[in-house]
Each structure stands twice: as structure tokens, then as C-alpha cells.
């Protein structure tokens, strides 16, 4: 399987360590989101999975599901991508919650988009900060890009970053839910294949 | 239209008279639909990148424009298509995200205009192998799904913003 070798050989211990690291990041992110919207935020336990390319576009409920995607490229010690996915209705509700709590009363899409970009940036920032503290690695997210479209089309974009030479990609996923608002989201971390070794080493479960 | 078979990222599948092949949620990827309308066989590749720079192209010929097109031709001929009877339609190759102020990284990012480069890569191969391109719905900044009737060559394109179209 050529250069897919490294990721194809992750042990259960390594997968657990990645899930656990994600757990700490997700806890921090939920606090940030909860402060932002003034509501309780529930999070699922993060799951680390190695997925074949063809199944990645379906990971948010199906490739044709309409979603808002807030995407950041990560630079620094551990390059990768991070993506916040919200089903379309959840995205609109979340934007409205955000806008209502700020000065702007405007309802147009540009304002909603900006509110969602801000949400994505804060959530991902909180997540990556705690991952950085845990591992001692430096994660530097870009400003967010935004798209509202089919989930598959959005996830394909991220695949190009992380899977140029690979047949499998590692994803660390967390679902969250804001109580009372029917808002559901999906935060997904995609470490670049070359970056995986560095994270695993810092987590105490290095390759070989 | 019979059974609909999904062709995922980097995959390539074939069908005869009774079949429909589909790719859902195409973004920067390009769906390459090749068929021989008289012999009624067709194949669909879900191309992710313009060219293979690694060593995995043998494992996943559908992943790269420079391996997918020639493989489609070979396999279709094996399945009874005539080389001169082959026609092709392509769909996808959009740019889903445009990160503000991030264009500088362009030169060394695999992402820069990746959709457009996928389209170019496929067209270059089609030209090299002299396969006529008879239909195209590419570019833009939105996602598409397609259903490809391999016996007629009809391709139905669906998007959230523009609804249904046929090429």
C-alpha cells in the first residue's frame, strides 16, 4: 500500500490516545461555545478513525446533506485542517442566536456567514489551544473560509489537503448539541499525514 | 434506470446496458463519464487530483487525472467498447473555499485552483488520447451530484443552487 503504510498501521492504543486528546480539546471548545451563546453545550466523546478516501464525504450524514462548513487550514508544528460542519438549519439557528446577542439586527446572509465564521474560529481555536497545551506543539489556524453547500463537496476540499499521497485519512470527530435550540454540529480534525508522527510521539504512543 | 451504483472519491466503476453510475457531492473533484453509446458500456472515475506524484497510482487509478482517463479507455475497450466510439463528459472541478488573504501560499499549496487544475488535467489527457469531450459542467464555487446512464451517455447534474440539468 505504498506510502499509506504509516497511517495504515495505527494501533488501538494510538487511536485511544488521539481520541483522548480530542476529548480535552472538545471540552475546552464546548466551554467557549457555551459562553458565546449563553446555553449549555453537550459534547459526544471524540472518535478517532482511519477512513478510506471514498467514505470521508459521507461522514456528516451523507454527501448531499446541505451544510455550512467553516474550514481552517492549520500551520505550525503540526499541519492539518479543521472543519466545523453544521446542518443547514442548525447553522441558521446558531447564527441567529449569535446575532441576537450582539448589536447587529440584520438578518442577511453575509451577517449570518460572519457569525458562523466567528463561531468556527472560536471553537477551533479553543480545541487547538488545549491540544497544543497537552502536546507542547504549536497549532496556528488560518482565518476561516466559509461554504454552504453539499457536505461531500466541502469534505472533498479538505481531502485534497491531507490525502495527496494517501488512500486513508485520520479523522478525529466530535458531535455537539446546544440544548433547547436543536442545534447540532460536527467538529472534525484532519492532521496531515506527515504531522501524525509528531502528535503521537508527544502523546507517548510513538510509531515503532 | 436499474440499480444506481455510487462512485466515491478516487474510485472508478463500470456498467453495461442496465446501469446507472453516480457521484454525490462533487466539489473540486471531477467526475469523468466515458461511454460508447453503440456498444452501451460506460465508466465513471471520481478524480481528486491532477497528477500522481506519489507511488499509489497503481492502487487507485481513479484518483488522478493522469491515470484515470487512460485506465477508463483501457477497461472500456476490454468491456467491448470501440476505441473510436468512446465519448466523454466531465462534471465538477469547483472551488469550494476561498480563504481571504491566503492567496499568497498559492505556489506551493496543492489547493490552489485545484478544481480548475483537475479539469485541465482531464482535458489534457482526453486530447492526448483523442477522446471527444461532448459535454461539460465545470467550475464555479458550488457542489454537484451526477447520475450517469451508461447506455445512453446521458448525465444528470444536480446542485443545491441551480437545481437539475442534463448534459
Residues of B with Cβ-Cβ distance to A89 under 8 angstroms: none
* Bridge partners for B163 per DSSP: B159
Residue B118 near chain A (CB below 8 Å): no
Q: End-to-end alpha-carbon separation of chain B, Å?
A: 17
Q: Are A43 and A30 in contact (CB under 8 A)?
A: yes
Quote the ipTM score. 0.88
User: What would the pLDDT profile of B67-114 be if each residue is shown by its tens digit?
Assistant: 999 999 999 999 999 999 999 999 999 999 887 655 444 444 555 689
Residue A8 near chain B (CB below 8 Å): no
Residue ranges in chain B whose pLDDT is less than 70: 1-2, 54-58, 100-112
User: Whole-angstrom Cα distance, residue A103 to residue B151?
Assistant: 58
Q: Cα-Cα-Cα-Cα dihedral of B77, B44, B119, A147, to 10°?
A: 180
Residue B45 near chain A (CB below 8 Å): no
Per-residue 3-state assignment (H helix, E strand, C coil) for chain A: CHHHHHHHCCCHHHHHHHHHHHHHHHHHHHHHHHHHHCCCEEECCCEEEEEEHHHHHHCCCCCCCEEEEEEEEEEECCCEEEEEEEEHHHHHHHHHHHHHCCCCCCCCHHHHHHHHHHHHHHHHHHHHHHHHHHHCCCEEECCCEEEEEEHHHHHHHHHHHHCCCCCEEEEEEEEEEECCCCEEEEEEEEECHHHHHHHHHHCCCCCC
User: Whole-angstrom Cα distance, residue A193 to residue A190?
Assistant: 9
User: Whole-angstrom Cα distance, residue B114 to residue A8?
Assistant: 26
User: Whole-angstrom Cα distance, residue A77 to residue B46?
Assistant: 32
- In three-state secondary structure terms, A4 is helix
Q: Taking CB atoms and an 8 Å limit, are B27 and A164 in contact across chains?
A: no
Q: What is the pLDDT of residue B129?
A: 97
Window 18-57 of A: residues touching B by CB (8 A cutoff) are 53-57
Q: What is the pLDDT of residue B8?
A: 94
Residues 6+ apart with CB under 8 A from A9: A207
Q: What is the pLDDT of residue A17?
A: 85
Q: What is the pLDDT of residue A71?
A: 94
Q: Taking CB atoms and an 8 Å limit, are B25 and A152 in contact across chains?
A: yes
Q: What is the pLDDT of residue A63?
A: 95
Q: Domain limits at B57? A: 4-166
Nearest CB partner across the interface for B99, out of A69, A142, A160: A142
Strands B133-138 and B144-149: unpaired
What does DSSP assign to residue A55? G
Residue ranges in chain A whose pLDDT is less than 70: 1-8, 101-107, 208
Q: Taking CB atoms and an 8 Å limit, are B9 and A147 in contact across chains?
A: no
Q: Which three cell numbers stand for residue B29?
A: 473533484
- Give, in degrees to the nearest 5, the angle at Cα A187 between A186 and A193: 130
Q: What is the pLDDT of residue A6?
A: 45
User: Whole-angstrom Cα distance, residue B88 to residue B45?
Assistant: 11
User: Whole-angstrom Cα distance, residue A4 to residue A168?
Assistant: 7
pTM, whole model, 2 decimals?
0.88
- Residue range A2-202 in CATH 3.40.1550.10: yes
- Active site annotation includes B88: no
Q: Taking CB atoms and an 8 Å limit, are A146 and B10 in contact across chains?
A: no
Q: What is the pLDDT of residue A117?
A: 93
Which domain CATH number covers B71? 3.30.1330.200
Amino acid at each position: 500500500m505504498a506510502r499509506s503504510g504509516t497511517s495504515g498501521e495505527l494501533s488501538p492504543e494510538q487511536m485511544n490516545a488521539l481520541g483522548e486528546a480530542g476529548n480535552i480539546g472538545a471540552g475546552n471548545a464546548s466551554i467557549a461555545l457555551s459562553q458565546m451563546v449563553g446555553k449549555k453545550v453537550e459534547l459526544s466523546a471524540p472518535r478517532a478513525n482511519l477512513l478510506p478516501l471514498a467514505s470521508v464525504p459521507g461522514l456528516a450524514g451523507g454527501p448531499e446533506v446541505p451544510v455550512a462548513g467553516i474550514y481552517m487550514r492549520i500551520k505550525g508544528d503540526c499541519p492539518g485542517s479543521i472543519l466545523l460542519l453544521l446542518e443547514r438549519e442548525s447553522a441558521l439557528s446558531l447564527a441567529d442566536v449569535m446575532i441576537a446577542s450582539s448589536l447587529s439586527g440584520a438578518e442577511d446572509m453575509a451577517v449570518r456567514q460572519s457569525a458562523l465564521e466567528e463561531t468556527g474560529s472560536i471553537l477551533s481555536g479553543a480545541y487547538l489551544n488545549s491540544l497544543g497545551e497537552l502536546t507542547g506543539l504549536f497549532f496556528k489556524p488560518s482565518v476561516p473560509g466559509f461554504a454552504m453547500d453539499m457536505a461531500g463537496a466541502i469534505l472533498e476540499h479538505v481531502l485534497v489537503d491531507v490525502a495527496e499521497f494517501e488512500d486513508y485519512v485520520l479523522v478525529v470527530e466530535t458531535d455537539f448539541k446546544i440544548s433547547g435550540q436543536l442545534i447540532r454540529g460536527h467538529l472534525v480534525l484532519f492532521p496531515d499525514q506527515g504531522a501524525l508522527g509528531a502528535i503521537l510521539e508527544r502523546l507517548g504512543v510513538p510509531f515503532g | 434506470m436499474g440499480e444506481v451504483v455510487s462512485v466515491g472519491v478516487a474510485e472508478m466503476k463500470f456498467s453495461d446496458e442496465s446501469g446507472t453510475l453516480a457521484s454525490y457531492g462533487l466539489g473540486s473533484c471531477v467526475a469523468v463519464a466515458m461511454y460508447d453509446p453503440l456498444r452501451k458500456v460506460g465508466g465513471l472515475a471520481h478524480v481528486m487530483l491532477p497528477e500522481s506524484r506519489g507511488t499509489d497510482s497503481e492502487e487507485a487509478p481513479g484518483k488522478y487525472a493522469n491515470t484515470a482517463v487512460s485506465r477508463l479507455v483501457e477497461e472500456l475497450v476490454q468491456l467491448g467498447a470501440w476505441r473510436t466510439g468512446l465519448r466523454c463528459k466531465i462534471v465538477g472541478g469547483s472551488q469550494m473555499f476561498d480563504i481571504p488573504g491566503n492567496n499568497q501560499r498559492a505556489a506551493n499549496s496543492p489547493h490552489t485552483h485545484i478544481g480548475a487544475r483537475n479539469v485541465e488535467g482531464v482535458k489534457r489527457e482526453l486530447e492526448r488520447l483523442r477522446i471527444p469531450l461532448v459535454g461539460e459542467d465545470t467550475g464555479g464555487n458550488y457542489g454537484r451530484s451526477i447520475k450517469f446512464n451508461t447506455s445512453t451517455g446521458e448525465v444528470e447534474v444536480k446542485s443545491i443552487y441551480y437545481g437539475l440539468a442534463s448534459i
